[in-house]
Chain A
C-alpha cells in the first residue's frame, strides 16, 4: 500500500504544477448519446513508424489510437486534461486498482468480466494469460525493435526470457482466467502506469501458438491486430488466423502509407468501460499530403483534424486573431520537450565544450518563431518538463541568453576551451566540424530551423550536411547508432506517464540504446557497443546510476532526484539543446462539435471528438 500511496502522491504533485491554456470545450468522459455517430475524417502526414505493431510503436500518435480506440489495457486514462484528472490512471480491463504486497514486490490484478476481443475473436473473453503473452512478446527481441521493453525489466524473469535463458517470464502467473499476479525484482511504484501502455494490451490465444494471434507476425502484427477497444480496424472480421501466418492476409482497413479506417468493435460492451465515450461511428484516416494543404482542408471542413502535422504559422495567426475562429483553436501544454540532440560518440561532440558552445549559440526564440511564435510553447531552459519535477526547476536555465536568441560571444568563449579549437580563437578548426551529418524532418518548419542552426553555428566553424527526411525515417535514423548521425533536429519527447523515469530511462539510460529507443546521444554505451557500431570513440558519459537512484526514490525526494539529474545532464553531460516545452496546438473543422485534450498522449482525445451529422 505504501507503493500505492507513493504513486498517488506522484500523480497529485505532478498535476499541481501545470497551467493550461485552452479555448475550447472539454467533457468529463461520460458518453452523451447526442454526440454519438458520424464519421471523423483525419489526415496524417506520416505512416505509423512500425505498422501499428503494439510491441514496437513508441509514438504519441499511435498510443492515442491504442488508448482511445483499439487496445484496452489493465489500467488506462480518461482522455482529458491534467486538471480534470487526465494524468491519472484508472482501472480499464482490471476491475479495480491492483493489490500490492507490503514489500511492493507482488502486484495482483483482478480482471473485469465480459471484456471480449474484437473480430474475428468476438467470442473470446480476455483472460489473464493473454497479458503474459503480450509481455513475452514485449521481451522478445525479434518483436520489440524500437519499443520500450526496458520498462518491464523489474518483472522477475523478464530479462532472462528476453535473453533466451527461459521459456517463460517466471514473475508472471495467472492462477485463473481473472487473476494476474506479477512479481518484481525491486519495488516499482509506477508499475500501474507501465500497464497502461499499449505493449501490455492482451493478445488472444490461437491454438498452441506461443504468441497467439501475433504468432509469425514479428514484423507487422499491427496489420493483424485483434482489438479490445470500442473500435477495430475495418475488415478485421475477414482475418483468418486458422491458416499459416505466412498465408494470412492482412486486414483490409489498414493500407500502410495510404489509409486506416476504424469501425465500431461489435463485441465491445460499453458497460465495462467508463473511460471512453467513443462518440464517432467510425474514423477514416488518410495518410500523406502537404501539411499546409491539409490544414486548408480543415478550415474548409473537408477533413476534421490533422493528427501529426504542426499547425502552420499562418493558420496559428488566423485562428489566434479572428474572434470567430478562436473557438476552434485548442492550446494545451503537451508535457513534451523539443530538442536538438548530439551524438556523443561523433567528434567533435565527444568534447563537452563544443556541446556547451552550441547550447549558448542556438537561437531558441528563432526556433519557436518559425514554428508559429509564442502559442507553440515556452522556451525550454532544461530537459525535463516542469510537471515531472513539481516545478522545482521552473526558472532554471544554465544557458540563458538575452531574449533566448543565443549569444555568440559566450559560445565562442566556450569553444575556446575545446580541444577542437587548437588556436583558441573560438572557432573549431578540426575537420570533424565540417559537413556534420544532420538529420531533420522534411516538413515545415524543421528545414527553416536547420537553416537557423546553420546560421548560428557558422561563426563557430561548424558546418552541417543536412538531410531532410520523412518523419518516421528521421526518427529511425536518429535512433540507429549505426547511422552516425551527429545532429538530430526535429525530435520531440513527451512523457510516457507522469513520472520523471519516462524521460530519464528511455532518453539517457543505457536501456534506451539501439535497438531499443530513444537514447540518441548514446549515453552509457559500452566500448564493445561503440566499436560494434563503428565508432572510434571508446566511451561516452553514463547516468545509469543516477537514473537507478531516482527510480527508487519516493515522494518529494523523487522529484528532487529527477531535478538533480536534469541539472547534471545540462551542466556535466550536455547531450542536447532543449529549446521548447511544447504546446499541443490543434485547429478543428467546423464539423467537430466536441473536443477533449488527452494529457496521456499529449494529443486530442480521438474518442471524445464528436462530429456533426452524427
Chain B
C-alpha cells in the first residue's frame, strides 16, 4: 500500500469494474476506498490457509463479475468457513450484526493516541471475523460496524469469534492504563431492503436497538436469530433467555435460568442496565437472549 503504483493499479481496476481483493501482510491502515472490500489476512494465519481463502474468494468474485452487470458492487473476498461465503451484499432474509465499542467517546478523551492505534486493531479483527464467515460490512460509523450475513449461523459465528479475539487481545500494549476494548453486539434476522450496498427497513432498526441494549463483551440475539442457531451452537456457547420485553418506556422483565455463579453476576448487572436503557428504545417486542462464552475474559472482568 506504500506504493503509488499499487494504488494506481487498484484504482484503475476498480474504475474498470474489476473485482479487487486486498491482501494484508501486516496490520496497516487501509485506504478508505478499499476499506469496504473484504481483505484476506495473511499475517494471522498460515500462508496456505490464507491462499486457499484468497483463491476461493477470487473464484467467486470472478464468477459474480462475469454473471452480473452490477460490476461496481463491493466484492467480499473473504474466506469460507462452514460453507459460508458472501459476495457482495446478501439479499432476502439477512442476518445483521451490529457492533459498537462501549464507552468509546470517553476513552477517546482519555487516551486519544492509544485509541487511534487500538481502533485500527479493532477494525482489523472485526473485518477478519466477518470475512471468515462470508459476511458483508455495509457500513462503519466511527467504531461501529454494520455487517450482513446470508445465514444466521454465519452471523453468530462471526460475533463469537470477534468477541473471542477481542477478549484474548492484549490491549495494554496500546497505552499505559489502557483497558481492554469491550464491544457490544446485536444480531437480528429478517427481510430488509438492500440498495446500493446499504440496507433499510425494520430489521435494521431492530438490530440497532438490540445492539444498543448490550454491554461491552456481550452478544444480544433476537428471538428470530436465536431460534435458528439454537441447535447448532459451537461448544462452550450458552444461550440464556431473557424473556420477551418491550424495550421502550417499560421496565424490563427478565426471565433467565442462571447456569452458574459467574453467569449470575453477569445477569444481575445486565438486568438493571437494560431497565435504564429501555427508556430510549423503540417500542417493539423482542425476545432477547444472551450468548455467553465460558471463560470470555471480557465477561470474567466483570
Answer yes or no: are A and B bound together in one complex. no
Binding site for A on B (CB under 8 A): none
Binding site for B on A (CB under 8 A): none
